[in-house]
Amino acid sequence: MRSSWPIARCSRREGRKRALLADLDGYARKTIDALGWAPPWLISLCVLAVAALLAIGVHRLLHRAATRLVAGRELFWRSLVARAKGPTRLALIVLFIGPAASIAPLTFAEAAFVRQVLLLCFIGLVAWVALTALRIWTTLHLRRFKLDTEDNLLARKHVTQSRILQRVAAVLIILVATAIGLMTFPSVRQYGVSLLASAGAAGLVVGLALQPLLKNLIAGIQLAVTQPIRLEDAVIVESEWGNVEEITSTYVVVRLWDLRRMVLPLTYFIERPFQNWTRESSAIIGNVMLYLDYTAPVAALRAKLEEIARASRFWDGKVVNLQVTDLRQDTMEVRMLVSAGTAGRAFDLRCEVREKIIAWLQAEHPRALPRRRTEIERLPRGAAWLEDRNAA
C-alpha cells in the first residue's frame, strides 16, 4: 500500500495538468470562435502575436527572477544568466507559438510555413546554445591564466590555443546549422543529393569556391596546434616590429611599435618566414654597437657597462658582456650585450646604455670617440712641384 501511494499521487498531478491544459485549449478555441467576424488570416496573426508577446513577458519575469537570484553570487553565475538571455527568450517563443499554431485557423500552406519557420528557429536555437556553451567553457578555462604577469608564456599559450579553437568551432557550428537549415527545404535537399551524386565538375567548382575558407580553417587549426605565434608575442613581419594583438579565424592583427596595426592572413604565418622573439621565453638579449677610437679604454668601458646594468631597473640580472668584435681602418667595433625580461624592457635598456655610455665617454674619455687622423709632413727641399712653383 505504501509503495502505491506515491504513484497514485503522481497520477493525480498528471491528471490535473491535463485538465488545466484542456481548459486552456477550450478557452482559446471559444475566444477564436467569438472572433468569427474577422478574416482567418487576421485571427491567426493575432493568435501568433499574442503567443509571442506572452512568451516575451514570461521570459522577462523569469529573467528578472534569475538575475535577482544570482545577484550576490560570483561573476560566473551572473555572466551565465546574462549570456543565456537570448537563447532562453527564443526557446520560450518557439515553445509558445507551437501550441498557438495548432489552434489558429491556418490553411494547410500557412500551417506548413509556420512549421518550417519553427523548425528553422529550433535549429538556430540549438546552434545558439552550442555557441553560448562554447563561449562559457572557454571563459571558464581561461580564468586560470593571467596575461598581465611578467612570465606569461603558459598563459599566452593557452589563451591563443583556446581562442583559435573557439573561433574555428564557432565557424563549424554556424556552417553545420546553416547546412541543416537549408536541407529542410525539399528543393535544396534534392539539389544537394544530385550534387553529391554527380561528384564531377560541380564538386570541383564548389571546392574552388570554398578554398579560401577551408584554407583559413586549416591554417587556424595548424596555428592552434603548433603555435608558431601566440597572443602578445613580439614578432617582426614585413620588416616591422610589433606584438600580436588579435588572432581571429581568418586574420592576425599585429600592433606595431608606433601603434599602427598590420593585418595579415592566417596563412602568412604558415607559408612565409618571420621572426618571433618570444617563442619559448619572453626574456631576450639586446645588443648595443659602438665604434670607438683605438685608444678607448676597453677594461674601463666594460666596468662602466656592468655598473649601468646593475643600476638599471630594466636589467634582469642575467647577461652583461662587452667584446671588441671587429677592427676597421679608423675605428674598432665594440659590442655590448645586456638581457631583459621582455622585448620592451630590452629596448628601453639598450637606449639607456647608449645614452649613459656616450655621456660617460664625453666626460671621462673624449679622445676615445671616433677620430680621423691625418699626418702632414714638410716636403724635402728640391721637390719637383716646388721648383715648378718657384719658376712660375
Q: Residues 22-31: pLDDT tens digits?
A: 555 555 555 5
Q: In which band, very low, low, confident or very high, does the pLDDT at 289 lie, cut at 50, 70 and 90?
A: very high
pLDDT, mean of residues 251-257: 90
pLDDT value of position 164: 78
Q: Are 340 and 349 in contact (CB under 8 A)?
A: yes
Instruction: Name residue, grid cell 528557429.
Output: 121
Q: Residue 184 corresponds to which cell in the numbers above?
A: 529542410
Q: Residues 318-354: pLDDT tens digits?
A: 899 999 999 988 889 999 999 998 888 888 999 999 9
Q: Residue 215 corresponds to which cell in the numbers above?
A: 584554407
Q: In which band, very low, low, confident or very high, does the pLDDT at 95 lie, cut at 50, 70 and 90?
A: confident
Query: Please, where are the H alpha helices in the chain?
Result: 4-34, 40-69, 75-83, 85-103, 108-142, 153-183, 186-198, 201-209, 211-226, 268-271, 298-311, 343-364, 384-391
Q: Residue 72 corresponds to which cell in the numbers above?
A: 550576490
Q: In which band, very low, low, confident or very high, does the pLDDT at 310 lie, cut at 50, 70 and 90?
A: very high
Annotate 234-287 with DSSP letters as a single string: EEEETTEEEEEEEE-SSEEEEEETTS-EEEEETTHHHHS--EETTSS-S-EEEE
Q: Are 174 and 182 in contact (CB under 8 A)?
A: no
Q: Residues 99-122: pLDDT tens digits?
A: 777 777 777 777 788 888 888 889
pLDDT value of position 199: 44
pLDDT, mean of residues 347-363: 93
pLDDT, mean of residues 143-170: 74
164/144 Cα distance (integer angstroms) = 18
Percent of the chain exceeding pLDDT 90 equals 17
Of 301-315, 331-345, 375-389, minimum mean pLDDT range: 375-389
- Helix or strand or coil: residue 388? helix
Q: In which band, very low, low, confident or very high, does the pLDDT at 195 lie, cut at 50, 70 and 90?
A: very low
pLDDT value of position 357: 94
CATH of region 156-281: 2.30.30.60
Task: State the chain's mean pLDDT as an integer.
Answer: 78
Q: Are 293 and 331 in contact (CB under 8 A)?
A: yes
286/32 Cα distance (integer angstroms) = 82
CA distances from 309 to 262, 263, 328, 348 (A): 34, 37, 28, 12
Q: Residue 183 corresponds to which cell in the numbers above?
A: 536541407
pLDDT value of position 204: 54
Q: Is residue 304's pLDDT more than 90?
A: yes
251-256/275-276 β-pairing: unpaired
Q: Are 296 and 365 in contact (CB under 8 A)?
A: yes
pLDDT value of position 15: 61
User: 284-368: what fold?
Assistant: Alpha-Beta Plaits (3.30.70)
Furthest-apart CA pair in the chain: how many Å?
A: 149
261-265/251-256 β-pairing: antiparallel
Angle (CA) 329 335 339, round 5°? 170
**pTM, entire model:** 0.55
- Helix or strand or coil: residue 321? strand
pLDDT value of position 320: 93
Which value, in Å, is the radius of gyration of the alpha carbons in the chain?
38
pLDDT value of position 308: 94
Please give the backbone phi and psi of residue 177, each rounded to the nearest 5 degrees, phi first: -65, -40
Q: Residues 168-185: pLDDT tens digits?
A: 888 888 888 887 887 787
Q: In which band, very low, low, confident or very high, does the pLDDT at 1 lie, cut at 50, 70 and 90?
A: very low
Domain boundaries, the chain: 38-143, 156-281, 284-368
Q: Is residue 73's pLDDT more than 60?
A: yes
pLDDT, mean of residues 74-98: 82
Instruction: Name residue, grid cell 668584435.
Output: 325
| 213 or 116, greater pLDDT | 116
Q: Residue 28 corresponds to which cell in the numbers above?
A: 482559446
pLDDT value of position 354: 93
CA distances from 206 to 157, 199, 202, 213 (A): 35, 10, 6, 11
285/321 Cα distance (integer angstroms) = 11
Q: Is residue 136's pLDDT more than 70?
A: yes
355/311 Cα distance (integer angstroms) = 14
229/244 Cα distance (integer angstroms) = 8
